[in-house]
Amino acid sequence: MRVIGIDPGLRACGWGIIDVDGPRQRHVANGTCRPTGTDMGDRLLSLHQLLTAVLVDHAPDAAAVEQTFVNRDGAGSLKLGQARGIAVLVPAQAGLTVGEYAPNAVKKTVVGVGHADKKQIDHMVRMQLPGCNPDSPDAADALAIAICHAIHLQSSGRLVAAMQS
């Protein structure tokens, strides 16, 4: 199974792709989409095109996006929400169901602590995916989201299989 994780952003949108075979996870690719344009419409269109190209190139079977947290800057949260909308729309257009995870859930799954910092996430992603070199903190976060989703999918699959026995 191939999983893409997306860390939405209007300036830098991280993406990371892993292959999952049972308990084994292998890094496939990662990167950072940097949308261009001067107005919001142009930036959102650019983000849509960049993410679509990633999905076409790598053909994931599953997708996950980090949920937006609301901070003190309401305008900033709304803009991030628009980028997140594109990050959910692109995999949905490709026919994928999109998992959504709170930042603390991703951190707890990958690092073991719900309030880990960017360096800890990067370190644990590199430990769990040997040989991977995230091109930005956003790409490392996206790989962490993919790892979290893969673990969630595997555990739900085991639960469903156990219930059918």
Distance CA 148, CA 150 (A): 6
Task: Quote the pLDDT of residue 22.
Answer: 86
Q: Which ranges in the chain belong to alpha helices (H)?
A: 40-58, 74-93, 103-110, 118-128, 137-164
7 is an annotated ligand-binding site residue? yes
The active-site residue, picked from 19, 122, 135, 138, is 138
Q: What is the pLDDT of residues 27-73, one digit of tens each?
A: 999 999 999 998 999 999 999 999 999 999 999 999 999 987 666 67
66 is an annotated ligand-binding site residue? yes
pLDDT of 163 higher than 60: no
> Sheet of 13-21: strands edge to edge?
24-33, 13-21, 2-7, 62-66, 98-101
By three-state DSSP, how is residue 18 classified?
A: strand
Backbone CA torsion sign across 7, 13, 18, 20: positive
Q: What is the pLDDT of residues 69-127, one digit of tens each?
A: 666 677 777 888 889 999 999 999 999 999 999 999 999 999 998 888 999 999 999 99
Distance CA 133, CA 122 (A): 9
The active-site residue, picked from 7, 73, 100, 135, is 7
DSSP 78-90: HHHHHHHHHHHHH
Q: Strand pairing partners for 38? A: none
- Let me know if 7 is a catalytic residue: yes
Domains of the chain: 2-164 (3.30.420.10)
The active-site residue, picked from 42, 61, 66, 73, is 66
Q: How many CA atoms, within 13 angstroms, populate the side-chain half-sphere of residue 99?
A: 23
73 is an annotated ligand-binding site residue? no
